């Protein structure tokens, strides 16, 4: 398998399970990884927003990587989130960190200080020059306050061969179309950053997803993704329709409150705990998620 092919298909943005006292729960994380490994996930992403990365310190980040690596036994690629709005900081971090247990880096567009497109380009250029691993760019203007335009993505893809893809979470099909249509290389992967938009994004040239719902439903959502990648639109769109309500519910109280509720109800994590300022889903939403999971279980049975 070529290096860039490690990062296509179903990537799961793993939650970070906590115990009731707020400490890390490696037992639940190992169980979750094993569950997904058995159901065909293609790669994992740690330390993203779904993993509550702003509230995880450096020692905990290393512990989580070690825990996930042991659970996968090195058989499934691991992508680690590493980004900052301070270019010097993120460059120094990648230069000094131990990268032996990860296969790639997911790096978000600098947030809060709203750089111009040229600033975004220079930020990622310096990071790419320092990084020994493949890099997936992460464009999520709803969280960063700044949209990385397709022209900037294409400049970076042309300039740096170790920038191998982008998680496009702008919600805009025209951005995916522009990137796919402007690429001058075949070894660059566009990944959907929104589960509910995965099918249209794949129609426009994406080759997979970094998923939230995949935490709970890796087999059925993986089937959706690979069906779309194979051009089986009937199967992909049928599954997408069935999952639409759950995809909506998972974000009513923000991410990862919804997906942690679902994982707790499924017995995949031992506690429904988040770190402040995030809090668990409301009792009403927990009830709605439980009811929808029951419906999906009746639709898909053991295949879910």
User: What average pLDDT does range 231-236 have in this prediction?
Assistant: 97
Catalytic-labelled residue, pool 167, 217, 260, 264: 167
Detail the residues annotated as belonging to a binding site for pyruvate: 50, 210
Q: Rg of the chain over CA atoms, in angstroms?
A: 18
What is the model's pLDDT at position 6?
Answer: 76
Detail the residues annotated as belonging to a binding site: 50, 210
- Looking at the predicted structure, is the pLDDT value of residue 79 above 50? yes
Confidence label for 73 from pLDDT (cuts 50, 70 and 90): confident
What is the model's pLDDT at position 5?
Answer: 56
- Looking at the predicted structure, is the pLDDT value of residue 238 above 70? yes
User: What average pLDDT does range 157-183 have in this prediction?
Assistant: 97
pLDDT tens-place string over residues 191-211: 999 999 999 999 999 999 999
- Looking at the predicted structure, is the pLDDT value of residue 177 above 70? yes
What is the model's pLDDT at position 3?
Answer: 54
pLDDT tens-place string over residues 244-254: 999 999 999 99
Catalytic-labelled residue, pool 35, 69, 138, 264: 138
User: What average pLDDT does range 257-283 have in this prediction?
Assistant: 98
- Looking at the predicted structure, is the pLDDT value of residue 1 above 60? no
- N-term to C-term CA, the chain: 28
User: What average pLDDT does range 15-39 have in this prediction?
Assistant: 96
pLDDT tens-place string over residues 38-53: 999 999 999 999 999 9
What is the model's pLDDT at position 22?
Answer: 95
User: What average pLDDT does range 89-108 have in this prediction?
Assistant: 95
Q: What are the beta bridge partners of residue 9?
A: 208
Say what the pTM is: 0.95
CA 81 – CA 106 distance, rounded (Å): 5
What is the model's pLDDT at position 302?
Answer: 75
User: What average pLDDT does range 79-90 have in this prediction?
Assistant: 96
- Looking at the predicted structure, is the pLDDT value of residue 16 above 60? yes
Tell me whether residue 114 is one of the annotated catalytic residues: no
User: What average pLDDT does range 160-168 have in this prediction?
Assistant: 97
- Looking at the predicted structure, is the pLDDT value of residue 26 above 50? yes
When the pLDDT of each residue in the chain is averaged and rounded to a whole number, the result is 96
> In the chain, what are the domain boundaries?
9-231
Tell me whether residue 167 is one of the annotated catalytic residues: yes
Q: What are the beta bridge partners of residue 44?
A: 12, 78
CATH architecture of structural domain 9-231: Alpha-Beta Barrel (3.20)
User: What average pLDDT does range 43-67 have in this prediction?
Assistant: 96
- Looking at the predicted structure, is the pLDDT value of residue 2 above 70? no
């Amino acid at each position: 398998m070529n290096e860039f092919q490690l990062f296509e298909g179903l990537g799961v943005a793993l939650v970070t399970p906590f115990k009731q006292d707020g400490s890390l729960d490696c037992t639940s994380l190992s169980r979750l990884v094993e569950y997904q490994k058995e159901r065909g996930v293609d790669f994992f992403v740690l330390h993203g927003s779904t993993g509550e990365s702003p509230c995880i310190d450096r020692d905990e980040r290393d512990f989580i990587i070690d825990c996930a690596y042991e659970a996968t036994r090195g058989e499934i690629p691991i992508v680690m989130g590493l980004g900052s709005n301070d270019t010097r900081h993120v460059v120094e971090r990648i230069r000094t960190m131990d990268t032996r247990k990860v296969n790639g880096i997911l790096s978000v567009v600098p947030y809060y200080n709203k750089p111009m497109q040229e600033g975004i380009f220079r930020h990622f250029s310096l990071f790419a020059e320092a990084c020994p691993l493949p890099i997936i760019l992460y464009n999520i203007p709803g969280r960063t306050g700044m949209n990385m335009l397709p022209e900037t993505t294409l400049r970076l893809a042309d300039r740096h061969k170790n920038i191998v893809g982008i998680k496009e979470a702008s919600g805009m099909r025209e951005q995916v179309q522009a990137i796919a249509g402007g690429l001058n290389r075949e070894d660059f992967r566009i990944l959907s950053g929104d589960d509910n938009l995965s099918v249209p994004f794949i129609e426009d040239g994406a080759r997979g997803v970094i998923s939230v719902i995949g935490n709970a439903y890796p087999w059925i959502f993986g089937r959706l993704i690979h069906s779309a990648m194979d051009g089986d639109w009937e199967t992909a769109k049928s599954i997408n329709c069935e999952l639409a309500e759950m995809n909506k519910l998972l974000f009513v109280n923000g991410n990862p409150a919804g997906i942690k509720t679902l994982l707790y109800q499924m017995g995949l994590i031992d506690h429904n705990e988040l770190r402040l300022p995030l809090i668990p889903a409301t009792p009403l939403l927990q009830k709605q998620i439980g009811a929808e999971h029951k419906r999906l279980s009746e639709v898909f049975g053991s295949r879910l």
